Amino acid sequence: MKIVFAGTPEFAAQAMRAIEGAGHQIVLVLTQPDRRAGRGMHLQASPVKQFALEKNIPVLQPETLRRTVADPQKKIQAEGAYKQLLVTDFDAMVVVAYGLILPQEILDITERPGRFGSFNIHASLLPRWRGAAPIQRAIEHGDAKAGVCIMQMDAGLDTGDTVMVEELDIGSNETSATLHDRLATLGAKLIVNTLHQLETVGNLPRSPQAAQGITYAEKIAKDEAEIDWGDDAQNIDTRIRAFNPFPGATSSIGNLSLKLWNSRIPRNAPSEEQASTGQILGFGDESVFVKCGTGVIEILEMQKPGGKRIPAKLCLQGLSEAGEMLRFQAKENSVP
pLDDT in tens, 40-87: 778 899 999 999 999 999 999 999 999 999 999 999 999 999 999 999
CATH of the domain at 310: 3.10.25.10
- The backbone torsions φ and ψ at residue 109, rounded to the nearest 5 degrees and listed phi first, read -60, -40
Domain count, the chain: 2
In a domain, 191, yes or no: yes
Digit-coded pLDDT (tens) for 174-210: 999 999 999 999 999 999 999 999 999 998 999 999 9
Q: Which residues of the chain have pLDDT under 70?
A: 38-39, 320-325, 331-336
| pLDDT at residue number 329 | 84
- The backbone torsions φ and ψ at residue 270, rounded to the nearest 5 degrees and listed phi first, read -60, 160
In a domain, 123, yes or no: yes
Per the annotation, binding residues for (6S)-5,6,7,8-tetrahydrofolate are 124-127
Look over the chain and give the mean of its residue pLDDT values, rounded to a whole number. Answer: 93
Cα separation, 37 vs 47, whole angstroms: 13
Domain end call among 217, 240, 271: 217
What range does the domain containing 274 cover? 223-316
Positive/negative CA dihedral, 16, 19, 23, 24:
negative
Per the annotation, binding residues are 124-127
Which distant-in-sequence residues (6+ apart) come within 8 Å of 130 by Cβ?
Answer: 122, 124, 157, 158, 159, 214, 215, 216, 217
